[in-house]
């Protein structure tokens, strides 16, 4: 018997929690609902789940503090965590402070998107176990990624074709490929891809994304693999078509 991955859902609004539980159950997960941080800490301590979804605005403790406390529990650092947030300022905090959370979903969210995100995170967590680690049975069908990074040659292939990228275009795309679906703010991209000393601004990122998109489009005119999240940043689409 394959046990269903247990997902901790920490959300004080029962309506939202119901929706999340419903879509998770439908997709073969075993959600455990906690309406307070205290309950979440107790559930987590009893048995660490496969993944935890944390609402930022909880009645007894904010989601960030809860995240820190969960991480401090035995097995905590191994559990992927996803924030649920309604406010742009909170999103900035999740993305900008590099709390180490795996992702976030902005409210209002699409339940399908939430489940897709959960699946991707668990797939990554399974893949990250190393050669000896068995992939986790999440019922996910891992689509082949049409972007392949050859770090030694500093080259990226897209649908089998090598891309002719500038240094920063390469840096951006490599970062996206490492974390499909993960949203990166412009500030974050600047600090992760650009040299500290270089004179760069938000618009520098936008300009490089634009040229990068142009090169990707030349290979696959009908696919736009980079998502723009207005006012937030950029992310790579998780489910790219297998053929362009
Ligand atoms: Ca709330």
* Helices and strands (H and E) in the chain: how many: 8, 11
**In the chain, which segments carry CATH 1.10.10.10?**
147-236
| Segment 34-84, tens digit of pLDDT | 999 999 999 999 999 999 999 989 999 988 889 989 988 988 878 888 888
| The pLDDT of residue 133 is above 80 | no
Q: What global pTM score does this model have?
A: 0.54
Residue 17 Cα to ligand 1 midpoint, Å, equals 10
- For residues 241 and 91, the model is more confident at 241
Q: How many CB atoms lie within 10 A of CB 55?
A: 26
- Predicted local distance difference test score (pLDDT) of residue 107: 80
| Structure tokens, 216 | 């990707």
Q: How far is CA 242 from the centre of its chain?
A: 21
| Cα separation, 201 vs 146, whole angstroms | 30
Helix, strand, coil content of the chain in percent (nearest 5): 40, 20, 40
Are 18 and 11 in contact by the 8 Å Cβ rule? The answer is: no
Q: Which tops the pLDDT comparison, 167 or 216? A: 216
Q: Name the least confident of 70-79, 111-120, 123-132.
A: 123-132
**Mean pLDDT confidence for 196-205:** 70
**C-alpha 56 to ligand 1 mean position (Å):** 7
Percent with pLDDT over 70 in the chain: 82
Name the nearest CA neighbour of 225 among 207, 217, 155, 149. 217
CA of 85 to the centre of ligand 1 (A): 8
Given CATH 3.40.50.2300, say whether it is the number of domain 6-133: yes
pLDDT for 141: 38
Please list all protein residues whose beta carbon sits less than 5 angstroms from ligand 1, which is an ion: 12, 55, 57
List, by residue range, all CATH 3.40.50.2300 domains of the chain. Answer: 6-133
16: its two tokens? 């939202």
- Domain covering 147-236, topology: Arc Repressor Mutant, subunit A (1.10.10)
Q: How far is the CA of 16 from the centre of ligand 1 (A)?
A: 9
């Amino acid at each position: 018997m394959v046990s269903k991955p247990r997902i901790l859902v920490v959300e004080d609004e029962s309506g939202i929690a119901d929706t999340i539980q419903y879509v998770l159950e439908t997709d073969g997960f075993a959600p455990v609902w906690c309406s307070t941080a205290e309950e979440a800490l107790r559930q987590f301590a009893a048995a660490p789940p496969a993944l935890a979804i944390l609402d930022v605005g909880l009645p007894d403790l904010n989601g960030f503090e809860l995240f820190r406390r969960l991480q401090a529990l035995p097995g905590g650092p191994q559990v992927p965590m996803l924030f649920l947030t309604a406010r742009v300022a909170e999103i900035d905090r999740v993305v900008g402070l590099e709390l180490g959370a795996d992702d976030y979903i902005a409210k209002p969210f699409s339940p399908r998107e939430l489940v897709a995100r959960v699946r991707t995170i668990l797939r990554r967590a399974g893949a990250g176990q190393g050669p000896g680690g068995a992939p986790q049975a999440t019922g996910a069908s891992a689509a082949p990624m049409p972007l392949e990074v050859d770090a030694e040659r500093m080259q990226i292939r897209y649908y089998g074709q090598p891309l002719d990228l500038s240094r920063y275009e390469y840096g951006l795309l490599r970062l996206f490929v490492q974390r499909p679906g993960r949203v990166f703010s412009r500030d974050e991209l600047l600090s992760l891809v650009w040299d500290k000393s270089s004179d760069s601004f938000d618009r520098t990122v936008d300009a490089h994304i634009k040229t990068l998109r142009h090169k990707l489009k030349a290979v696959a005119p009908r696919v736009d693999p980079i998502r723009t999240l207005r006012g937030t940043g950029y992310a790579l689409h998780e489910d790219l078509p297998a053929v362009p």
